[in-house]
Amino acid sequence: MIYCKAESYTRKRMQRVQLENIQETVKRVYSLVPFYKEKFDDLGINPKDIESLDDIRKLPFTKKQDLRNNYPYGLFAVDMDEIVRIHSSSGTTGKPTVVGYTAKDMNIWSEVMARIFYMGGVNSSDILHNAIGYGLFTGGLGFHEAAQRMKVAVIPSSTGFTSRQLLLMKDFKATVLNTTPSFALHMAETAKKEGYNLKKDLQLKCGFYGGEPASKGLKDEIKDIWGIPFYEVYGLSEIIGPGVAGGCKHSDRLHINEDHFYPEILDPDTLEPVKEGERGELVLTTITKQGLPIIRYRTGDITSLDFTPCRCGRTTVKMESVVGRSDDMIIVGGVNIFPSQIEHVLSNIEGVSLNYQIILDKKGYLDKLELDVELTDNMMSDSVNELQKLKAEIQKDILNNLYIHAEIKLVQPNSIQRSAGKAVRIIDKRK
Ligand code: DLL
């Protein structure tokens, strides 16, 4: 069963729809968003130059930094009275990235996400346990609104309070679980400690997982422990939130809602298209969004595209589960972080140098971030109190700026290993 006709368009029809929508979007951003007008003018491009899908390659890229530079509303293409929702994520210099939606955008968002719920057979008789962050993060509300659109009963449980989550899931007879892969494992571990039998005590029929990468091994483990099918969801706030792509039961790849989000795969170094089926960086253009249309957004996510028809009947192009990043972004417990953000926090603290290392590991099934920071020479203190105070200050500033808990380890000057080339800022032991 397919939720929406567009998911089974012929390639020819899909391309026609895409071209029309790209042309319309390009016209709108050129006339409404000074940032794009300037970029187009610099490149000598006029909206009329976009005559075929290939012409999209003439257009400039948009990066996360562009959203920050235009904080908060500089890239919006509508007046604020048309914006009905704002989401945001943490930022390098204290400036977050901000995204805005019109009522029409909200309708698109809940529709594309509903398409994905539909792939897992979700319907109005279901009860969704939505164990993903609510608030400024697009996760919680993104799933919530789609479920409501489908008249599914939603339990907006968000994250944390694991024991209570399990109790609610059992007593409220939840049939669908939505969460991040790492929280799914953490919940399972808690359930085991508390004597639950996940397969017998709960009435779940399927689970939706996303917001962070999950290897095939991890997916299999989650499937096995919970005893329900695993449906993957991919998305990013700059494009819309969860709902850009999702997995059906016939493929381990994710159908991209390409009538709304036009995908390209480029070599991240040359920025030229890779051969069909090869891996590269996913670049997305929103082609129907009104509030914050984005041209050729460099997601940083490495994947490949597969245009072969799917047994589920959908004809939309499928992306491989994300295999890595083209930049140094890390995801810790669902929160996206760049080392430069940590550096920025440290640069405002007396007594520590900018020689640091981020060590990522697992505590049980949850991500753990340890930050090793070298003291400055003049901070070499024997006072335990003073060092504790400094640790607490770093921890608090990181929490306030990046919304994550870091274990801080203060180390001697020059003790973090130096490398000949790029500094090794991240040691990821989670794999
Ligand atoms: O993580 C939206 C989302 C929430 C998607 C819940 C799915 C489920 P951001 O916080 O903007 O938005 O982070 C976007 O997270 O560029 C990827 O690097 C990563 N990501 C999201 N989904 C997946 C996935 C949400 N299924 C960034 N696999 C993206 C791997 C993912 N990485």
Residues 5-40 pLDDT 10s: 999 999 999 999 999 999 999 999 999 999 999 999
Average pLDDT of the residues of the chain: 94
C-beta of 158 in contact with ligand 1 (< 6 A) = no
Mean pLDDT on 73-82: 98
Rounded CA-CA distance 294/35 in Å is: 11
Mean pLDDT on 166-181: 97
* CA of 235, closest atom in ligand 1: 5
pLDDT higher than threshold 90 for residue 403: no
Percent over 90 (pLDDT), the chain: 81
pLDDT higher than threshold 60 for residue 161: yes
* CA of 232, closest atom in ligand 1: 26
Q: How far is the CA of 242 from the centre of ligand 1 (A)?
A: 7
**Residues 311-368: pLDDT tens digits?**
999 999 999 999 889 998 999 988 889 888 898 899 899 999 888 999 999 988 889 9
C-beta of 182 in contact with ligand 1 (< 6 A) = no
- Residue 270: strand, helix, or coil: coil
Nearest to 101, CA basis, from 125, 126, 77? 77
What pLDDT sits at residue 215? 82
Phi-psi region of 356 (alpha: psi -120 to 50; beta: other; left: phi over 0): beta
Rounded CA-CA distance 21/403 in Å is: 37
DSSP per residue, 16-34: HHHHHHHHHHHHHHHHH-H
Q: 298 or 364: whose pLDDT is higher?
A: 298
Q: How far is the CA of 322 from the centre of ligand 1 (A)?
A: 9
C-alpha triplet 8, 12, 18: angle, nearest 5°: 85
The amino acid sitting at 262 is Y
Q: How far is the CA of 41 from the centre of ligand 1 (A)?
A: 33
Rounded CA-CA distance 262/255 in Å is: 12
Q: How far is the CA of 334 from the centre of ligand 1 (A)?
A: 8
How far is Cα of residue 106 from the mean position of the Cα atoms in its chain? 18
pLDDT higher than threshold 60 for residue 177: yes
What pLDDT sits at residue 143? 98
- Residue 152: strand, helix, or coil: coil
C-beta of 232 in contact with ligand 1 (< 6 A) = yes
Which stretch of 232-241, 260-269, 279-288, 349-358 has the lowest confidence by average pLDDT? 349-358
Tokens describing residue 64:
């996360």
pLDDT higher than threshold 80 for residue 92: no
C-beta of 213 in contact with ligand 1 (< 6 A) = yes
What pLDDT sits at residue 417? 83
pLDDT band (50, 70, 90) for residue 214: confident
pLDDT higher than threshold 60 for residue 170: yes
Percent over 70 (pLDDT), the chain: 97
Mean pLDDT on 87-111: 88
C-beta of 96 in contact with ligand 1 (< 6 A) = no
Mean pLDDT on 131-149: 96
Rounded CA-CA distance 212/234 in Å is: 8
Nearest to 53, CA basis, from 260, 255, 264? 264
C-beta of 211 in contact with ligand 1 (< 6 A) = yes
| 8 A C-beta contact, residue 196 and residue 226 | no
What pLDDT sits at residue 218? 83
C-beta of 212 in contact with ligand 1 (< 6 A) = yes
What pLDDT sits at residue 91? 57
C-beta of 316 in contact with ligand 1 (< 6 A) = no
Rounded CA-CA distance 179/187 in Å is: 10
DSSP per residue, 94-138: SPPEEEEEEHHHHHHHHHHHHHHHHHTT--TT-EEEEES--SSSH
CATH numbers and ranges of domains, the chain: 69-327 (3.40.50.12780), 335-428 (3.30.300.30)
C-beta of 78 in contact with ligand 1 (< 6 A) = no
Which stretch of 19-23, 185-189, 241-245 has the lowest confidence by average pLDDT? 185-189
The CA-based diameter of the chain, rounded to the nearest angstrom, is 72
Tell me the C-alpha to C-alpha distance, in Å, between residue 29 and each of 33, 70, 158, 263: 5, 14, 35, 18
C-beta of 336 in contact with ligand 1 (< 6 A) = yes
Strand order in the sheet with 352-363: 406-411, 366-375, 352-363, 426-428
Mean pLDDT on 87-97: 75
What pLDDT sits at residue 419? 63
C-beta of 91 in contact with ligand 1 (< 6 A) = no
* CA of 237, closest atom in ligand 1: 11
Mean pLDDT on 410-416: 90
Who's near 319: CB < 8 A, 6+ residues apart?
Answer: 234, 245, 253, 254, 256, 263, 282, 303, 304, 305, 306
Q: How far is the CA of 387 from the centre of ligand 1 (A)?
A: 36
Mean pLDDT on 384-408: 93
Q: How far is the CA of 47 from the centre of ligand 1 (A)?
A: 31
| 8 A C-beta contact, residue 246 and residue 115 | yes
pLDDT band (50, 70, 90) for residue 185: confident
Mean pLDDT on 374-393: 86
